[in-house]
Chains A and B, each alone.
Chain A
Amino acid sequence: MSLATLVQSLADNKQLLGLRYAEWCTAAPTLEADIAGAAMGLDDLGHSRVLHGSLRELGEAEAERDPTSPEQYLNVAYLDHPWTDWSQFVAANAVLDTAFTLMIEALANGNVEVLRSRLRKMLQEEHYHYLHGRSWLRQGGSNPEAGRAFADAVEWFGPEGGEVDQFHQAGQLAAGVAGLRSTLGERVACAPPPVPTDWARWNPLRRRTRPGSIDSRTFEMLRGLEEKRYMPVGERKDG
């Protein structure tokens, strides 16, 4: 697996995270959290665009996706389905968003010039996602969703001695798996320790053990099919 595939997974996850945030931007417990959800969603969709745009400079044009297969999206299982409870938003915001930020930090502090220069602004914006998630996580008391998010983050970082550690040894990433895991634990002090992962079932491309993929409605939205339903009949094109 190449560094570009890791960046593509980061970009796919950011796109879905942005979408899931947006789904909550009229349903959060307070109006302020609605607005913050919308702002964070916009941030993450923008980050996804920049990351996807970096793939070419990384020497790898973005792979053609099978337009009929949602499994082409390299996302963690936590983002497969819309969240039905605010505690799921909070856990994703506090734990998963922070896990992706740690990888962005590792890339921005690594030796790949295009990523060093392009990823800085994301870290400034992500600081506010972190403050938002941390505060809400503290307020909610025990949140079992945080454990699920943490387990998915551990899977997404991958096994020790795997390619993330190889990228770290080559200087492309400023942190390896052990460092990423421990820093995530420190930053989201409320989260329980990660569950052991069955690495024999781990898919190195999708960076997850669980099968499954994004729900069909989300997939159709990503493909632009949901929006087409609202187009005037004469402007619709097949596909």
Chain B
Amino acid sequence: MATFSRVHQQVRQYEVFARKARDEPLRQVGSVVAPDDDLAQAYARATYDEERWVELVIVPTAAVIRLWAPGEDGSGSG
């Protein structure tokens, strides 16, 4: 038998973004955890397709470059 672990050995987190109309901005609706892009797409679709999105995208969380976080002053104005 092939072996599968209950929790994947190496997983990545992906942020899920969606919108319902073309004139709306994408907004974050949640996240999924998966070992690769294939499974992340399958999981995002299975988990978040209950609503009628016109667009659904996933982004590896590691690809997000944060300029500043809540509580940090990154505006440059002092």
Contacts and interface: CB of A to CB of B under 8 A. Distances in A.
Given A32-B33, A32-B47, A132 B4 contact: no
Interface string B38-51: 11011101110100
B6 A32 contact: no
Chain A interface residue count: which class? Answer: 20 to 34
Interface of B: 1-8, 32-36, 38-39, 41-43, 45-47, 49
B42 A131 contact: yes
19 contacts: A29-B5, A30-B8, A32-B33, A32-B34, A32-B46, A32-B47, A35-B43, A35-B47, A39-B45, A39-B49, A85-B1, A86-B4, A87-B1, A87-B2, A90-B4, A139-B4, A140-B4, A142-B2, A145-B2
A40 B35 CA distance: 19
B7 to A, nearest CB: 7
Contacts of B43: 32-33, 35-36
A206 interface: no
A237 to B, nearest CB: 35
Nearest to B6: A29
Interface string A134-177: 11101111111100000000000000000000000000000000
Query: In terms of DSSP, what is the predominant structure of the interface of chain A?
Result: helix
A199 interface: no
Given A32-B46, A129-B42, A131-B38, 13 more contacts: A29-B5, A36-B42, A40-B46, A87-B2, A128-B42, A128-B46, A132-B39, A135-B38, A136-B39, A141-B2, A143-B2, A145-B1, A145-B2
B20 to A, nearest CB: 18
Given A30-B8, A32-B33, A32-B34, A90 B2 contact: yes
